[in-house]
Amino acid sequence: MTSHAPLTASELSVKYFTSPGLNPPSNSSLWRPRHSTSLRTASTKLTTLLPVTHRLELLPVDPADPLAIMPALEEALTGQTALLPVPANDPARTNLLRNTLSPGAPVDDDIALVVATSGSTGTPKGALLTPANLIASADATHQALGGEGQWLLAMPAAYIAGIQVLIRSMVAGVEPAFVDLTRGFNVAEFAARATELARTGERTYTALTPMQLAKATSTLQGIDALRTFDAVLVGGAATNPRLLESARKLRINVVTTYGSSESSGGCVYDGRPIAGARVRIQDGRIHLGGPMVARGYHNLDSPDLTGGWFCTSDAGTLEGGVLTVLGRTDNVISSGGLKLHPEVLEEELLLIDGVTAATVIGKDDDRLGQRICAAYTGSASVPDILDALADAEDVGRISHWQIPKELKVVAALPQLGPGKVDRSAVKELFD
């Protein structure tokens, strides 16, 4: 693992304060690993040495060279600037964030990043994350996984999951490897980078969406690559239980994660809170707390993010310290006076041979209120699915009223962000 000796106080002062407002360079090689102690010291103490007034700056992230943002990211973590990451290859998303999150507006001096939510229920919100939030998350992740190590970035670095891979690397004092996502997730490139990391002899980690995990486990090359990692974090959306079971049978150390931009990324691993994180259930909703929870939202007061707690939109249960996520409360379908968390039926659909992904939605219906519809990908036919659901009804896993009134096979489910299905777009498929 490449690392540098700790910087002196004088060196830190020169490094972090001689070039305020430095734009991110186009050449990623300009960033070099720093000792983790110096980063933490700078993030917690140096802001008191030089008071500054921050205005939120756009941080375009190029999927072909995500490491180019690391100098700017280090400046944010050491109190020099506040950044709004946006995907350089997605003008529509960038324009949306520019119009809703007001780059150029003033922000508190102790804010490092404003990280947009996926916007699954409408306009994206910007979570206000401090250096302390982000570093606490990185430290807790390393503690949960067994120590610092080398990271492979395989998720878009304009979103919190990808950003945290970069921050964990900075905290560990190493330069991460990365996969060029310009044309999507390429298993051969992923495998090549994984092999390079394995040769370091250090602990190695990566983070994937469920779709990336499914793609990687569909080839022997991908399976061999995944086996080299000490842990493969999987999050962004619910993971097909069959996929998890298959990956673990293949001796891949998959760790499921739960969290969001508001919690600096995943803070619950395999159902249990990582170090410092807290989970509680109130009125059926999951609440997340701890040092990694955001200060609030940019230009928005919300009771859902106050007092060190984030009230999610997810329903869940907590038994024996293990969290079970039931699904989003705002996705609940009311059909014939009965309520369904669509995730429950989606999980059942994913158990069917030939179904690779599924999304269940409710469409307005004059008689039922909402009729249950499902879009899916895979080779299974509609009759095959109906037969399998009838079998599930026979053994009591689902009720008859939960069987979809409409089923539609699609080439791919529309996406909002890494691993997140655009349910509004799925609804339009049934118009």
Q: Above 90 in pLDDT, residue 380? A: yes
Of residues 367 and 64, which shows the higher confidence score?
Answer: 64
The helix or strand, by DSSP H or E, that contains position 126, with its residue range, turns out to be strand 126-129
Please report the pLDDT score of residue 37 as a whole number. 57
Q: Above 60 in pLDDT, residue 121? A: no
Please report the pLDDT score of residue 15 as a whole number. 34
Please report the pLDDT score of residue 355 as a whole number. 93
d(CA 77, CA 83): 10
Tokens found for residue 258: 């739960």
Which band of pLDDT confidence, cut at 50, 70 and 90, is reported for residue 9? very low
Please report the pLDDT score of residue 372 as a whole number. 96
35 dihedral zone (left: phi>0; alpha: psi -120 to 50; beta): beta
* C-alpha radius of gyration, the chain, whole number: 22
Q: Above 90 in pLDDT, residue 1? A: no
Please report the pLDDT score of residue 32 as a whole number. 60
Q: What is the DSSP secondary structure assignment for residue 262, as one 8-state letter? A: G
**Minimum mean pLDDT among 3-7, 188-192, 256-260: which range?**
3-7
Pick the CATH number of 9-324 from 3.40.50.720, 1.10.1200.10, 3.40.50.12780, 3.40.50.300: 3.40.50.12780
Whole-prediction pTM: 0.79
The alpha carbon dihedral of 376, 381, 386, 388 has a sign of: negative
**Minimum mean pLDDT among 46-50, 66-70, 142-146: which range?**
46-50
pLDDT (tens digit per residue) in 400-431: 999 999 999 999 999 877 778 888 899 999 98
Please report the pLDDT score of residue 7 as a whole number. 31
Please report the pLDDT score of residue 301 as a whole number. 87
Q: Above 70 in pLDDT, residue 4? A: no
Please report the pLDDT score of residue 247 as a whole number. 96
d(CA 416, CA 403): 26
Please report the pLDDT score of residue 420 as a whole number. 80
Q: What is the mean pLDDT of the chain?
A: 87
pLDDT (tens digit per residue) in 226-243: 999 999 999 987 788 888
Which band of pLDDT confidence, cut at 50, 70 and 90, is reported for residue 19? very low
Q: Above 50 in pLDDT, residue 6? A: no
Please report the pLDDT score of residue 233 as a whole number. 98
Q: Above 60 in pLDDT, residue 16? A: no
CA neighbor of 161 nearest in space, from 75, 98, 233, 82: 233
Of residues 302 and 232, which shows the higher confidence score?
Answer: 232
Please report the pLDDT score of residue 52 as a whole number. 58
Give the three-class secondary structure for 49. coil
d(CA 157, CA 167): 10
Please report the pLDDT score of residue 406 as a whole number. 94
Q: Above 70 in pLDDT, residue 336? A: yes
d(CA 246, CA 141): 24
Please report the pLDDT score of residue 17 as a whole number. 30
Please report the pLDDT score of residue 8 as a whole number. 31
Polymer length of the chain: 431
Please report the pLDDT score of residue 341 as a whole number. 87
Residue pair 149/172 in contact (Cβ under 8 Å)? The answer is yes
- The mean pLDDT value for 196-221 works out to 95
Please report the pLDDT score of residue 42 as a whole number. 57
pLDDT (tens digit per residue) in 24-46: 333 333 456 655 555 666 565 54
CA neighbor of 66 nearest in space, from 146, 211, 197, 181: 181
Which band of pLDDT confidence, cut at 50, 70 and 90, is reported for residue 384? very high
The values of phi and psi at residue 400, to 5°, are -60, -40
- The mean pLDDT value for 313-340 works out to 90
* Amino acid, res. 408: K
Class of domain 332-428: alpha beta
Please report the pLDDT score of residue 295 as a whole number. 93
Can you state the angle between helices 160-172 and 131-145, rounded to 10 degrees? 80
Domain boundaries, the chain: 9-324, 332-428
CA distance readout (Å), 244 to 81, 111, 322, 330: 40, 36, 17, 26
**Minimum mean pLDDT among 5-14, 173-182, 382-391: which range?**
5-14
Which band of pLDDT confidence, cut at 50, 70 and 90, is reported for residue 296? very high
> Same fold for the domain at 9-324 and the one at 332-428?
no
pLDDT (tens digit per residue) in 303-312: 999 889 999 9
- The mean pLDDT value for 63-72 works out to 96
Tokens found for residue 95: 């324009």
- The mean pLDDT value for 258-271 works out to 96
User: Which residue stretches of 159-297 are H helix?
Assistant: 160-172, 187-198, 210-216, 220-227, 241-249
- The mean pLDDT value for 92-97 works out to 90
Please report the pLDDT score of residue 51 as a whole number. 54
